[in-house]
Amino acid sequence: MLFCFNMYAQKSSTPNNTLAHPKLVVGIVVDQMRWDYLYRFYDLYKPNGGFKRLLGEGFSCDNTFVPYLPTVTACGHACAYTGSVPAIHGITGNNWFDNNTQKAVYCVEDKSVQAIGSNGGEAGQMSPNNLWTTTITDELRLSTNFRSKVIGISMKDRGAIIPAGHAANAAYWYDQKSGNFITSTYYMKELPSWMQYFNSRKLVDSFYDKNWNINLSKEIYEKYCDVDNNPYESNQTFQQNAFPYNLKQYQAKDYSKIATTPYANNLLLELAKSSIQSEQLGKQDVTDFLALSFSSPDYIGHSFGPNSWEILDTYIRLDETLSELFNYLDKTIGKNAYTVFLTADHSGAHIPEFLQKHNIPGGRWDDGDIKKELNNYLASQFNQPKLISAVLEHDIYLNHPLLDSLKLEEGSIKKVITHYLLKKEIVLNVIDKPSASTATIPSKIREMVVNGYNPQRSGDLQLIMKSGVMDAGKTGMSHGVWNPYDSHIPLLFYGWGIKKGNLTRETYMTDISATIAALLHIQMPSGSIGKVISEVIK
Annotated active-site positions, please?
Answer: 73
Beta strands per DSSP E along 351-486: 363-364, 388-392, 395-398, 427-432, 461-465, 469-470
Query: Residue 498 carries which DSSP code?
Result: B
Q: Helices 511-520 and 136-143: crossing angle, nearest 10°?
A: 20
3-state secondary structure of 334: helix
Separation between Cα atoms, residue 433 and residue 452, nearest integer Å: 9
With vertex at residue 525, the alpha carbon angle to CA 521 and CA 530, rounded to the nearest 5 degrees, is 90
Separation between Cα atoms, residue 139 and residue 328, nearest integer Å: 27
Contact 172, 179 (CB under 8 A): no
Contact 487, 350 (CB under 8 A): no
3-state secondary structure of 228: coil
Separation between Cα atoms, residue 91 and residue 130, nearest integer Å: 7
Which strand ranges, in their side-by-side order, compose the sheet holding 59-61? 115-116, 180-184, 170-175, 150-154, 288-294, 24-30, 338-343, 491-495, 59-61, 501-503
Separation between Cα atoms, residue 476 and residue 457, nearest integer Å: 28
The DSSP secondary structure of 39-100, one letter per residue, reads HHTGGGS-TTSHHHHHHHHSEEETTEE--SS---HHHHHHHHHHS--HHHH---SSEEEETT
Q: Name the helix (H) or strand (E) containing 456.
A: none
Helix %, strand %, coil % for the chain, to 5?
A: 35, 15, 45
Q: Helices 136-143 and 73-82: crossing angle, nearest 10°?
A: 30
3-state secondary structure of 287: coil
| Dihedral sign for Cα atoms in the order 473, 231, 31, 490 | positive
| Amino acid at the residue 261 | T
3-state secondary structure of 496: coil
**Phi, psi at 502, each rounded to 5°:** -150, 165
Contact 59, 535 (CB under 8 A): yes
417 Cβ contact list (under 8 Å, min separation 6)? 374, 378, 396, 430, 461
